[in-house]
Structure formats: C-alpha cells, structure tokens
Amino acid sequence: MGTDTRMEGDTRMAHMRRDDPAGVAREGLEAMFAGVDHVVAGSTMNRVQVAASAVTPEQALAAVHAKLSEPGTG
C-alpha cells in the first residue's frame, strides 16, 4: 500500500514531501504498545502543522487547503 496521489492530480499538495509511511506506522505502533492514546507521527513539520491547526481558524485552514489543492498549481 503506497501513497496514492491520483485524486490530487497536478496540485501543489501532490508534489509536497511526504513522511515515510513505514516510519509513521512504526511511531503509531510504538505509541500504541506504550499505552499512549494519541500521537502525532511524522516529521517535525507535521507536528508544527498539527499544533498550528489547533489555534488557526477553520476558514483560514480551508483557504490554505484550497490553495494547495487547486488544479494546475503543481
């Protein structure tokens, strides 16, 4: 099972760096076995984005997502 970008097409999001799926899965399993009920796996950038999304208004998040997923921007 790989990262499927067929739905993203030629967008900025389709061409962004992605975390290694095996590494993310490993972090999740380690957390689960350690009894942790929530983990933000992946790169430092992913952790920053998750933290920022907690304090960013939904309209702003939606605008950023729209810009990144706009066809023809990749």
Does a structural domain hold residue 56?
yes
What pLDDT shows up at residue 27? Answer: 96
Examine the pLDDT at 71 and tell me if it is beyond 60: yes
Does a structural domain hold residue 11?
no
In sequence order, what DSSP letters do the residues of 44-67 get, joined into one string? HHHHHHHHHHHHS-HHHHHHHHHH
Does a structural domain hold residue 60?
yes
What pLDDT shows up at residue 2? Answer: 52
Does a structural domain hold residue 58?
yes
pTM: 0.68
* More confident: 2 or 21: 21
Does a structural domain hold residue 44?
yes
- Domain count of the fold of the chain: 1
Does a structural domain hold residue 45?
yes
Does a structural domain hold residue 24?
yes
Please count the CA atoms within 13 angstroms of the CA of 66 that sit on its side-chain side. Answer: 6
CA diameter of the chain = 44
What pLDDT shows up at residue 1? Answer: 45
pLDDT, tens only, 34-54 = 999 999 999 999 999 999 999
Domain carrying residue 62? 18-68
Does a structural domain hold residue 51?
yes
